[in-house]
Amino acid sequence: MVLDLKRKEIAVLRGGWSAERPVSLISGQAVLDALNTAGYKTRDVIVEHDAPALLAALTPKPDIIFNALHGNGGEDGVIQGFLEILGVPYTHSGVAASAMAMDKAITKGVVQQHGVYCAKSVVVTATPTEILHNPPLPYPFVIKPVSEGSSVDVFIIHNKQSYHNSSVLSNQQQQRVYLVEAYIAGRELTVPVLGNRPLTVIEITPQQGFYDYTSKYDAKQHADFTLPAPIPQEIYATAQDFALRAHHALGCKGVSRSDFRYNSDAPQGEQLVFLEINTQPGMTSLSLTPTSAKHEGISFLELIETLLKDALTK
């Protein structure tokens, strides 16, 4: 079936109410710019935490929705459920896959059943201070919110002293659900999956620390990308296989991106460790998925068009 997207009105949802709102605004603008330049009919929809306002913005109904929202509300099944009720085709994953993938603990439980190796972890409801006073895992470990993206509020705790030296962490006194995970030393890899196809594996080298929110979105402190990742072919193939398994195990649609750590000194079978999956990868000029797609010969516009066609056919 040939789809003439130029005859469709495309609404781009961006903004939202999560901590990743600024990134979503940029991602959505990049999508709008590409579509408008190519002559598509678009509607820019800035999403707030206001269902009646969103309903009004989507009236009359567009033909397709490009979901450029990130984080809570945008990629956890909430907006997907709203759009299902509205009855408008939308890009990326559906309700169930989005909800599962947003919860790091549930994600790990699912992908491990499909042969994907994960680091040891526990889920705790506490403040960071309580976690550090009663460490649930041996040092070093990572503290991360169980349902948050873009490395928001992620902290690596090498020892008790490192906590005391972190004024940012010590000021976090809100009790919430955290995933406490064994820290995996080594190199950082990421693998996008487009449809049924794993794309080029990228190695990420932050200028300092780890690949946190600043490294992802601040051009002045951005990480370096190497693609294809200079790793052994066996590990490269396993990373693509694990990413595809995770994508399918969770029922993801359109595009996803899985993150890994690679430690060549670990025992065989434990060298590549799955960290998490992102069902709404960034679409900014610094984002990993468009970079990987470009290396495969897929332009930014072609990536967007692929996702829109997928939305109309799923």
Q: Which residue numbers are catalytic?
A: 20, 150, 217, 257, 259, 276, 278, 282
Q: How far apart are CA 28 and CA 43, in angstroms?
A: 11
* Three-class secondary structure of residue 100 per DSSP: helix
Work out the burial of residue 131: count CB atoms within 10 Å of its CB; fewer than 13 is exposed, 13-18 middle, 19 or more buried: buried
Which own/partner pairs from 2-6 qualify as long-range (CB within 8 Å, at least 24 positions apart)?
3/309, 3/312, 3/313, 5/40, 5/64, 5/305, 5/308, 5/309, 6/39, 6/40, 6/41
Residues near 238 by beta carbon (within 8 Å), at least 6 away in sequence: 272
* Three-class secondary structure of residue 64 per DSSP: strand
Evaluate the CA torsion angle 180, 184, 190, 191 in order and state its sign. Answer: negative
Residues linked to residue 155 through DSSP beta bridges, in sequence order: 143
